[in-house]
Amino acid sequence: PETVTVQELANRMAERGANVIKALMKMGVMATITQSIDADTAELVVEEFGHKAKRVADSDIEIGLVAPQDDADKLTSRAPVVTVMGHVDHGKTSLLDALRQTDVVSGEAGGITQHIGAYQVTRPSGQKITFIDTPGHAAFTAMRARGAKVTDIVILVVAADDGIMPQTVEAIRHAKAAEVPIVVAVNKIDKPDADPNRVRTELLNHDIQVEEMGGEVLSVEVSAKQKLNLDKLEEAILLQSELLDLKANPERSAEGTVIEAKMEKGRGSIATILVTRGTLRVGDVFVAGKEWGRVRAMVDERGQRIDEAGPAVPVEVLGFAGTPDAGDDFVVVEDEARAREVAEYRQRKEREALAVKSARGGSSMEQLFA
Ligand code: GDP
Ligand code: MG
């Protein structure tokens, strides 16, 4: 049977829970805020408040949430989004730090200093590249498990003095499974025992043929430590990006992905959003996974307040009612009622799924002790 909790009904009407309880009492129905009432009763309450009732099946709630594909003539080029992967100690963090310093617009602001989970650099040519600032396979796979495909290109870092190691192989596997092209960064070429040729040869064993080996995979020799060839690496990224022909419509309400999220004392729940299409603005109301909110402020990777963020721009968003999860979708919706409706629906679905799971767990425990 269709039911709705008093709280949910109140939220959907944007009325106070206490007033809904009072209205129910007048109708002779005693219910607390967390109790469920049937659809017929709910409809009467809705009319009592002067609203028009419209019953929607659960499955209808998410329909239309994500906008259909944009018309081709609305699309404009966007920056590539890049993730750095590779074996431990091969220089992922060092490379991300070095690339951060290639940004030319930081100037007075003192550079890209905030670690918000992603940053965007502007090259002297004006072209931009977005880097996901959390190296590692866990983040990549966690996002992919949630259906989020944020990465356009994987930078595979391989230390020239160490060669292909287990996590290098793992990274290759992840990138291939996600069908994301790889650009190889042969790192630590400043070291006396560096052997970039060995790296290129070993890569052949893993189905990666770099250009020097007659293949098509771009590869660049770099030193994160001495900041050698970082411009060449960025050029390779942009070349790969051109082949991918990355585009998005900036002129629509924003959609994106949660890159990371946390609870901060005094600031509330904060999340870094990577906008995938549209433009996000202060004041926008949104749903992010099972949470919702209204953009109270946005801060970029330089710690500067900004008013809007377009496609491929990462931005720290304040104004969440709760903390979402990395990899959650982020969608701007028309109003608070819609945002609450979707968030509550998703929360309820999760509660139900958990209940089913624990019920199943319970029975298997019984079997265990039978
Ligand atoms: P990660 O585990 O992949 O993030 O690797 P790190 O960036 O933490 O680097 C591991 C070690 O390698 C650190 O001691 C770095 O200073 C060093 N390292 C990173 N890149 C280079 C490089 O280009 N040349 C040299 N000589 N050392 C490097
Ligand atoms: Mg590291």
Q: Atom 14 (ligand 1): residue with closest C-alpha?
A: 89
The predicted-structure confidence for 12-28, as pLDDT tens digits, reads as follows: 888 999 999 999 999 99
Is 60 exceeded by the pLDDT of residue 369? no
89 is in an annotated binding site: yes
The ligand 1 atom at the shortest distance from the C-alpha of residue 94 is 7
Q: Which ligand is nearest to the CA of 87?
A: 1
The predicted-structure confidence for 107-152, as pLDDT tens digits, reads as follows: 766 788 888 999 999 999 999 999 998 766 777 777 777 777 889 9
The pTM for the full model equals 0.82
State in Å: Cα 94 to ligand 2 middle: 7
41 is in an annotated binding site: no
Model ipTM?
Answer: 0.99
The pLDDT of residue 128 is 98
136 is in an annotated binding site: yes
Best residue among 85, 89, 96 to mutate for probing ligand 1, ranked by most atoms within 8 Å of CB: 89
Which residues place a Cβ less than 5 A from the ion ligand 2?
92-93
